[in-house]
Amino acid sequence: MASKDILERVKKVTARVLGLEPNTIEDGANFVFDLGAESSQSIELVAGFEEEFNIEMEEDAALAVQTVSSAADFIAKYVK
């Protein structure tokens, strides 16, 4: 399970890429259905997460992640 710090940083990147306020993003929010992410923004989100956390993620697996909390859990596997 991801730490609160990772979750907050995921929300920060998500807010920046999607033009939202971080405090309006719920942990379980779906990037597409709840937050309105388009396919091009999904790639921007992955790039933003990689930059924020200084990690390299497997892109296909990263693009399959659908919610904020699952993105944080996914990233937590890469952050040591």
Q: Which residue has the higher pLDDT, 1 or 45?
A: 45
- Specify the pLDDT at position 1: 80
Quote the pLDDT of residue 15. Answer: 98
CATH superfamily of this structure's domain 4-76: ACP-like (1.10.1200.10)
Span 7-35, pLDDT tens digits: 999 999 999 999 999 999 999 999 999 99
Domain assignments of the chain as residue spans, ordered by start = 4-76
Q: Are 38 and 25 in contact (CB under 8 A)?
A: no
**Can you tell me which residue has the tokens 């730490």?**
3
For the stretch 48-63, pLDDT in tens is 999 999 999 999 999 9
Q: Under a CB-based contact definition with an 8 Å cutoff, are residues 45 and 59 in contact?
A: no
56 sits in which H/E element: none
Q: Is the pLDDT of residue 77 over 80?
A: yes
